[in-house]
């Protein structure tokens, strides 16, 4: 049977043969994209190119992109949801369209993965009258023809949601299911946002498993988009040819294809096991949990749930830390913290009460190091972050138990004074335990039960919902205008970031490499590795170097270079590209010179980067550091403006 690594390789090789450039996964923390905290889909880093910017690697691109969807946290525990996953992607940037994509996908699934088309089902876009976007009959007919070539008669229907499958293979669904944009359905898209109809592929794990009959949906008809778990979406072909305007939709200047397929889900389909957590990528980590807990995965449903949450959350935390989101109380690091804590709590349900996170992570690093070598090089850092966070949380956990005991003492005092017997933990108390001490409701309930008490669950859930709405509003605000920002000011800040990076390395030493960057039209933020606070003298030196480079009015140019050549020519940047032979390199100053971060040199900096940048540094204005602070252990953060 194909391993998950083999599936990834097969997919990339398949598209390489079809003249696609294979690119490395972008970071989970989007660079230069202030609109979102995490890379949540393969297409996210591709947005500028879907909108028409030229991609340095051409018009056919494929990759396997690391993705993290924090918003799916509560879904984790079922057979198929994970917050971290890899998305296999292929893109046509105004090159091929439906006529190529659909047959290729069918070929990949049936010939390369050798999945039986009898168990494959398809959904297509039913159309959107109000916006005048037609039903995608072309795709439906194309799939029908492909099934026919395999001797399968595939009928097409459009009422599966109401009336079930009716023996059909291809189903029309409305925009709520078969339309893709980063903002969701057409109504929700901001002006300027690209989107399009999609056609999705589902794998049937078989009715014999009785997943539907045993689910909460048993009284409704089962269909491919039913949440019972019998059908699993394994890929989504988006035909991205529209963008939203103030008044409706218009065609983009180019017809794009954006395919995204869950690697782990494809692997589950190949195994024909509806449980994604049984695939090989989890073997090692699952084994560690089994060993430490003495419990066997899959034996009891409640334990299985705890296994899955622990497996998912620690994998996500491993990759988040590797990409620079160390546990903290802010921004992305907050999610890392929350996920580690949740994993610790769920593992405690399995009886694991000693530090264990680093050991699970060791399993993941071994499993993934071949694909993501940076995990191996950063492993000491990852272990130490996990260890520290776990230690800290175990202390909080203790404090939470103390808080709980205080509640009990309060009940006892009230009883002594008034004779009134309290038997219920109030919503407010339960919510405080959740919010301040990280106790989930179930944990409070468990503790309450041990003391013959109940919990105001409905009240807690109401408070919880309110809290979620507030955080959702927060993340929607982050989404703002939708587009990755390429305004003139952001482009200036982007170039200033290159000058800053080179200057920081010059002043502090070669260890001070970039760990993150975030740019808005108002400021730049730059994270870099450095163990201590910068002195005023160092800050001034960095400012002077950057301003010197601006005054010198260097030209900024890019070249596509073979990876090895870029390395030889001292380009700074992340050298993690597994596949890419050509890289895009920006030089500030003479493109042929040796970079020295000194305004008296002809070449100031050379860095691996996708762009865009200004043409001359002279336009940047005056560079000023407004803050230098700690971002997380061993990482400093500079905020700077151009005046």
Question: Given the rule CB under 6 A, which residues bind ligand SER?
Answer: 41-43, 89, 180, 236, 238, 258-260
Cα–Cα distance for residue pair 56/76, rounded to 1 Å: 37
Phi-psi bin for 616: left (phi > 0), alpha (psi -120 to 50), beta?
beta
Residue 93 CB, nearest distance to ligand SER (Å)? Answer: 13
Residue 143 CB, nearest distance to ligand SER (Å)? Answer: 17
Q: Which residues pair with 636 in a beta bridge?
A: 528, 630
List the 523-529 sheet strands across, edge first: 514-520, 523-529, 635-642, 623-632
Cα–Cα distance for residue pair 508/506, rounded to 1 Å: 6
Of 143 and 411, the one with the shorter C-beta distance to ligand SER is: 143
Cα–Cα distance for residue pair 188/528, rounded to 1 Å: 37
Helical pair 331-349 and 379-418, crossing angle rounded to 10 deg: 70
Q: What is the DSSP letter of 128?
A: B
Residue 219 CB, nearest distance to ligand SER (Å)? Answer: 30
Cα–Cα distance for residue pair 443/3, rounded to 1 Å: 37
Of 236 and 367, the one with the shorter C-beta distance to ligand SER is: 236
Residue 281 CB, nearest distance to ligand SER (Å)? Answer: 20
Residue 182 CB, nearest distance to ligand SER (Å)? Answer: 8
Residue 42 CB, nearest distance to ligand SER (Å)? Answer: 5
Residue 83 CB, nearest distance to ligand SER (Å)? Answer: 14
Of 100 and 374, the one with the shorter C-beta distance to ligand SER is: 100
Of 8 and 379, the one with the shorter C-beta distance to ligand SER is: 8
Residue 46 CB, nearest distance to ligand SER (Å)? Answer: 9
In Å, the largest CA–CA distance within the chain is 87
Long-range pairs for 568-571: beta carbons < 8 A, 24 or more residues apart: 569/594, 569/606, 570/594, 570/595, 570/606, 571/606, 571/607, 571/608
Residue 479 CB, nearest distance to ligand SER (Å)? Answer: 15
Report residue 511 as tokens: 């260890």
Residue 574 CB, nearest distance to ligand SER (Å)? Answer: 23
Cα–Cα distance for residue pair 200/134, rounded to 1 Å: 17
What is the C-alpha R_g of the chain? 27
Residue 36 CB, nearest distance to ligand SER (Å)? Answer: 13
Cα–Cα distance for residue pair 405/415, rounded to 1 Å: 15
Of 238 and 550, the one with the shorter C-beta distance to ligand SER is: 238
Picking from 279, 237, 231, the residue whose alpha carbon sits closest to that of residue 256 is 237
Residue 339 CB, nearest distance to ligand SER (Å)? Answer: 21
Of 67 and 314, the one with the shorter C-beta distance to ligand SER is: 67
Residue 44 CB, nearest distance to ligand SER (Å)? Answer: 8
Report residue 12 as tokens: 């990339």
Of 43 and 350, the one with the shorter C-beta distance to ligand SER is: 43
Cα–Cα distance for residue pair 243/105, rounded to 1 Å: 25
Query: Do 604 and 596 touch, CB atoms closer than 8 A?
Result: yes
Of 42 and 599, the one with the shorter C-beta distance to ligand SER is: 42
Of 48 and 260, the one with the shorter C-beta distance to ligand SER is: 260
Of 260 and 363, the one with the shorter C-beta distance to ligand SER is: 260
Q: Which of 17-27 are b and which e, b meaning 16 or more Cβ less than 10 Å from the residue's Cβ?
A: eeebbbbbbbb
Query: Do 24 and 63 touch, CB atoms closer than 8 A?
Result: yes
Give strand ranges (E) for 384-537. 424-425, 454-455, 514-520, 523-529
Of 85 and 106, the one with the shorter C-beta distance to ligand SER is: 85
Q: What is the DSSP letter of 109?
A: I
Of 43 and 211, the one with the shorter C-beta distance to ligand SER is: 43
CB-count exposure of residue 532 (10 Å: 0-12, 13-18, 19+): exposed
Strands 523-529 and 635-642, by their bridges, are antiparallel
Of 79 and 90, the one with the shorter C-beta distance to ligand SER is: 90
Taking CB atoms, the residue at the shortest distance from ligand SER is 260
Cα–Cα distance for residue pair 263/285, rounded to 1 Å: 18
């Amino acid at each position: 049977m194909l391993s998950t690594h083999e599936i990834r390789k097969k997919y990339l090789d398949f598209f390489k043969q079809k003249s696609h450039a294979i690119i490395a996964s972008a970071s989970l923390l989007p660079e230069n994209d202030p609109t979102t905290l995490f890379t949540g889909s393969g297409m996210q880093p591709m947005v500028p190119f879907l909108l028409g910017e030229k991609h340095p690697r051409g018009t056919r691109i494929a990759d396997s992109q690391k993705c993290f969807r924090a918003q799916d946290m509560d879904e984790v525990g079922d057979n198929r949801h994970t917050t971290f996953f890899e998305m296999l992607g292929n893109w046509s940037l105004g090159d091929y369209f439906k006529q190529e994509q659909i047959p290729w996908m069918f070929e990949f699934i049936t010939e390369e993965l050798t999945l039986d088309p009898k168990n494959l089902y398809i959904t297509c876009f039913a159309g959107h009258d109000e916006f005048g976007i037609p039903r995608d009959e072309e795709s439906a007919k194309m799939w029908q023809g492909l099934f026919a070539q395999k001797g399968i008669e595939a009928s097409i229907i459009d009422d599966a949601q109401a009336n079930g499958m009716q023996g059909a293979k291809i189903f029309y669904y409305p925009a709520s299911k078969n339309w893709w944009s980063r903002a969701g359905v057409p109504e929700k898209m901001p002006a300027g946002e690209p989107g399009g109809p999609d056609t999705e592929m589902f794998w049937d794990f078989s009715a014999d498993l009785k997943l539907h009959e045993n689910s909460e949906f048993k009284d409704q008809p089962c269909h491919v988009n039913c949440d019972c778990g019998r059908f699993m979406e394994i890929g989504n072909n988006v035909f991205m040819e529209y963008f939203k305007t103030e008044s409706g939709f218009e065609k983009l200047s180019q017809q794009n294809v954006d395919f995204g397929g869950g690697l782990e889900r494809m692997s589950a389909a190949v195994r024909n096991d509806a449980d994604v957590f049984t695939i090989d990528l989890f073997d090692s980590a699952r084994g560690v949990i089994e060993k430490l807990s003495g419990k066997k995965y899959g034996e009891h449903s409640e334990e299985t749930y705890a296994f899955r949450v622990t497996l998912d959350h620690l994998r996500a935390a491993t990759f988040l830390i590797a990409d620079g989101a160390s546990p903290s109380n802010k921004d992305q690091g907050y999610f890392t913290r929350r996920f580690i804590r949740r994993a610790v709590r769920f593992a405690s349900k399995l009886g694991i009460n000693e530090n264990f996170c680093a050991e699970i992570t060791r399993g993941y690093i071994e499993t993934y190091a071949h694909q993501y070598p940076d995990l191996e090089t950063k492993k000491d850092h990852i272990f130490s972050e996990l260890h520290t966070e776990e230690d800290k949380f175990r202390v909080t956990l203790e404090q939470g138990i103390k808080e709980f005991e205080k509640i009990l003492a309060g009940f006892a005092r009230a009883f002594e004074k008034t004779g009134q017997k309290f038997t219920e933990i109030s919503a407010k108390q339960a919510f405080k335990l959740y919010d301040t001490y990280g106790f989930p409701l179930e944990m409070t309930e468990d503790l309450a039960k041990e003391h013959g008490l109940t919990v105001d669950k409905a009240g807690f859930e109401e408070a919880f919902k309110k809290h979620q709405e507030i955080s959702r509003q927060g993340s929607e605000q982050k989404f703002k205008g939708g587009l990755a920002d390429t305004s003139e000011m952001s482009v200036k800040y982007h170039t200033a970031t290159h000058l800053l990076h080179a200057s920081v390395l010059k002043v502090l030493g070669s260890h001070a490499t970039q760990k993150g960057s975030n740019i808005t039209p108002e400021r730049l933020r730059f994270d870099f590795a450095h163990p201590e606070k910068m002195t005023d003298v160092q800050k001034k030196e960095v400012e002077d170097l950057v301003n010197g480079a601006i005054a010198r009015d260097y030209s900024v140019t890019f070249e596509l270079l073979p990876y090895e050549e870029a390395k030889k020519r001292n380009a700074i940047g992340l050298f993690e590209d597994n596949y890419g032979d050509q890289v895009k390199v920006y030089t500030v100053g003479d493109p042929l010179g040796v970079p020295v971060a000194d305004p008296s040199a002809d070449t100031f900096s050379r860095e691996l980067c996708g762009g865009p940048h200004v043409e001359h540094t002279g336009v940047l204005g005056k560079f000023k550091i407004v803050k230098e602070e700690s971002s997380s252990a061993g990482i400093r953060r500079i905020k700077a403006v151009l005046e």
